[in-house]
């Protein structure tokens, strides 16, 4: 605000002699109405090519034809304005489009409340309480449905050619289908690009996880432009290894160590857990794979006959559990666990805890999309020490990254 406008404002306030905040609010409301009305009149002048009452400058057959009243919902409360009309019915105001009834960003507020997990009815009551605006549950639902085209656009947007790391996981929800309640899987993929920046690459709603569905997810990523992934970080779910091998055969796969530890502990009774965990730590914190394998064999000698399944799960999955030993410490920290996607899933659970059953896939997808939008606003920084990480990746994956630079 310029010094001149501040002086005028102060002079105006002094002249009005306000005695309460409500008086200021009502005056602002009148000012807003006047500015809006004058903007509409200016638009009509521009559309007709002459100002009101200036018939001498008139050069077309069309002319003004009175007004129609409209009440707008604003942050200052309801405001009644007069919309100019023309005889030919051609005037389309830009500042207040024909069917617009609100100029207070109420739709964004409703979507924001929905993204926190509030029900449609709760949102309706909250908007009434906070803004004094009656918004029916049906209107709230209609506003939520407006984001479906945005979801489709986001889900099909082009992606980068190469991602340093890709994290994949599944979270399950109850959804109605054909008058029955079924368990649906939300397949979630997070990518870290070559600048160390995270983004959710997509969410896919499908049946329980399988290699066939994961294959379709990875093919979708390829169709949207992804050519290379250096390292996939996955949970111990079905189908990952086969699907990745079929689509990105040169990528490394790291199975989440934390999930593997939890899986092992299911077989260990409380009395032996402390000793078992101490031995297990010698495996996943080893300096290199050779020492890790030696420690695993020592564990097998000690625990293998007592808890064979706990040891067998490490042996069976060793190829993908041991991948991170080939990398330096700052890369190991990133890939040895899928915590980055677990953190996102915890946000999903937080906002969906009030929805025991979703009416359909679209309803579930809308809520997850809005949750992603909220979380992504906080992802403003690259990983710590990213310069070191990318330099090491450039050396380790030189063949892939050199080919990428050549193609670019």
**Phi/psi at 253 (nearest 5 deg)?**
-125, 125
167 burial (CB, 10 Å; 0-12 / 13-18 / 19+) is buried
The helix or strand, by DSSP H or E, that contains position 129, with its residue range, turns out to be helix 120-131
Question: What pLDDT shows up at residue 1?
Answer: 44
Instruction: Determine the average pLDDT of the residues in 151-168.
Output: 94
- Determine the Cα–Cα distance for residues 114 and 18; give it in Å rounded to an integer: 38
Q: Nearest Cα to 378, choosing from 347, 353, 339, 332?
A: 347
In the structure, what pLDDT confidence band is assigned to residue 158 with cuts at 50, 70 and 90? very high
Q: Residue 133 pLDDT > 70, yes or no? A: no
**Domains of the chain, start order:** 3-86 (no CATH), 106-146 (no CATH), 159-401 (3.30.420.10)
User: Are the C-beta atoms of 16 and 64 separated by less than 8 Å?
Assistant: no
Local structure of 301: helix, strand or coil: helix
The proportion of the chain whose per-residue pLDDT surpasses 70, expressed as a percent, equals: 78
Local structure of 55: helix, strand or coil: helix
Q: How much is the pTM?
A: 0.70
Query: Within 13 Å and on the Cβ side, how many CA atoms surround 380?
Result: 3
Instruction: Determine the average pLDDT of the residues in 111-140.
Output: 65
304 burial (CB, 10 Å; 0-12 / 13-18 / 19+) is middle
Local structure of 186: helix, strand or coil: strand
Question: What pLDDT shows up at residue 139?
Answer: 67
In the structure, what pLDDT confidence band is assigned to residue 276 with cuts at 50, 70 and 90? very high
Instruction: Determine the average pLDDT of the residues in 239-266.
Output: 90
Residue-level length of the chain:
408
pLDDT in tens, 10-39: 666 666 677 777 777 777 777 677 767 777
**Phi/psi at 9 (nearest 5 deg)?**
-65, -45
Q: Strand 228-234 relative to strand 252-255: parallel, antiparallel, unpaired?
A: parallel
Indicate left, alpha or beta for 17 from its phi (over 0: left) and psi (-120 to 50: alpha): left
Question: What pLDDT shows up at residue 63?
Answer: 83
363-402 as b/e: b if 16+ CB within 10 A: bbbbbbbbbbbebeeeeeebbeebeebbeebeebbeebbe
In the structure, what pLDDT confidence band is assigned to residue 106 with cuts at 50, 70 and 90? low
Question: What pLDDT shows up at residue 148?
Answer: 81
Q: Residue 283 pLDDT > 60, yes or no? A: yes
Question: What pLDDT shows up at residue 236?
Answer: 73
In the structure, what pLDDT confidence band is assigned to residue 306 with cuts at 50, 70 and 90? very high
Question: What pLDDT shows up at residue 55?
Answer: 65
Question: What pLDDT shows up at residue 268?
Answer: 94
């Amino acid at each position: 605000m310029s010094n001149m406008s501040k002086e005028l404002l102060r002079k105006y306030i002094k002249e009005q002699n306000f005695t309460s905040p409500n008086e200021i609010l009502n005056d602002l409301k009148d000012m807003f109405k006047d500015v809006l009305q004058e903007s509409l009149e200016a638009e009509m002048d521009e559309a007709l090519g002459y100002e009101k009452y200036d018939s001498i400058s008139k050069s077309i057959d069309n002319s003004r034809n009175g007004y129609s009243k409209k009440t707008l919902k604003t942050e200052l409360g309801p405001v009644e304005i007069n919309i100019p009309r023309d005889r030919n019915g051609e005037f389309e105001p830009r500042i207040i489009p024909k069917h617009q009834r609100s100029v207070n960003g109420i739709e964004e507020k409703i979507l924001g409340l929905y993204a926190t997990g509030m029900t449609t009815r709760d949102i309706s009551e909250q908007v009434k309480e906070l803004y004094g605006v009656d918004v029916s549950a049906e209107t709230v639902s209609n506003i939520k449905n407006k984001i479906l085209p945005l979801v489709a656009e986001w889900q099909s947007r082009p992606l980068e050619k190469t991602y340093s790391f890709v994290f994949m996981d599944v979270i399950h929800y109850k959804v109605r289908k054909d008058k029955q309640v079924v368990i649906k899987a939300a397949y979630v993929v997070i990518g870290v690009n070559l600048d160390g920046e995270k983004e959710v690459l997509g969410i896919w709603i499908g049946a329980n996880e399988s290699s066939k569905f994961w294959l379709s997810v990875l093919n979708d990523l390829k169709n949207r432009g992804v050519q290379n992934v250096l390292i996939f970080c996955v949970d111990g779910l079905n189908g990952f290894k086969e699907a990745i091998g079929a689509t990105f055969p040169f990528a490394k796969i790291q199975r989440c160590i934390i999930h593997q530890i939890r899986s092992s502990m299911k077989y260990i009774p409380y009395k032996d857990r402390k000793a078992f965990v101490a031995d297990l730590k010698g495996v996943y914190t080893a300096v290199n794979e050779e020492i890790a394998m030696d420690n695993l064999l020592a564990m097998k000698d000690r625990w293998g006959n007592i808890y064979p399944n706990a040891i067998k799960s490490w042996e069976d999955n060793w190829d993908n559990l041991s991948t991170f030993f080939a990398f330096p410490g700052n890369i190991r920290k990133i890939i040895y666990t899928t915590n980055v996607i677990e953190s996102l899933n915890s946000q999903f659970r937080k906002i969906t805890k009030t929805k025991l059953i979703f009416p359909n896939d679209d309803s579930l997808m809308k809520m997850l999309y809005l949750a992603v939008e909220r979380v992504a606003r906080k992802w403003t920084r690259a990983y710590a020490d990213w310069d070191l990480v990318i330099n090491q990746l450039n050396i380790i994956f030189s063949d892939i990254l050199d080919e990428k630079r050549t193609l670019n």
